[in-house]
Structure 1
Amino acid sequence: MEFRSTLLVAALLAASFGTTQAHAGITPRAPHPNLLPSCGEGDPNPPIQDVVRLRPARTLGTTPEEIHAKFANVVEANFTHGSPSQIMSRLSDKELAGIARVYKQSNAGRPPKLLDIMASRLSAKDLVRVAGTFGVSDVSAAVQRSASPSVAMLYTSRVAAGEVKIPTTIMPMSGPAPTRYMTLEEIYLEFRTAPVGSLGPGAALSETVIYAGGNLIAAWGVGSAIGTGIATLIQDNDPDAWDAIGGTTAGVVERVQNAANDISNTSGTQRGVAEHSADGMFNYPVSNSFNFYGDWDVSDDMGNDMGMGCFN
Structure 2
Amino acid sequence: MKKEIFDFYSYLRISGTQAAARRREAEKAGIHVPVFLQADISARCNLSCPGCENGCVRTKHQEELLELEQWDGLFREAEQLGVRVIFLTGGEPLMEREILERASRYQNCWFLVFTKGTLLNEKYNQFFSDHRNLVPMLCLDACSNINLVKGGKSSYLYENLMYAMDALSRRDIVYGTSVTLTSENRHRVLTRGFLDGLNRRKCNGVLYLIKDEAEENTAGTENLFWDGSLLLNEEEKEEVKRTLKELWEDYHDMVLYTLSRSGRFFGRPFEKSEVYRISADGNVFNCPAGLEKLGNLKEKNLRSILQKQTVPVDQ
Same fold (TM over 0.5): no
With normalisation by structure 1, the TM-score equals: 0.33
With normalisation by structure 2, the TM-score equals: 0.33
Bigger proportion of residues as helix = 1
Structure with higher Rg: it is: 1
Bigger proportion of residues as strand = 2
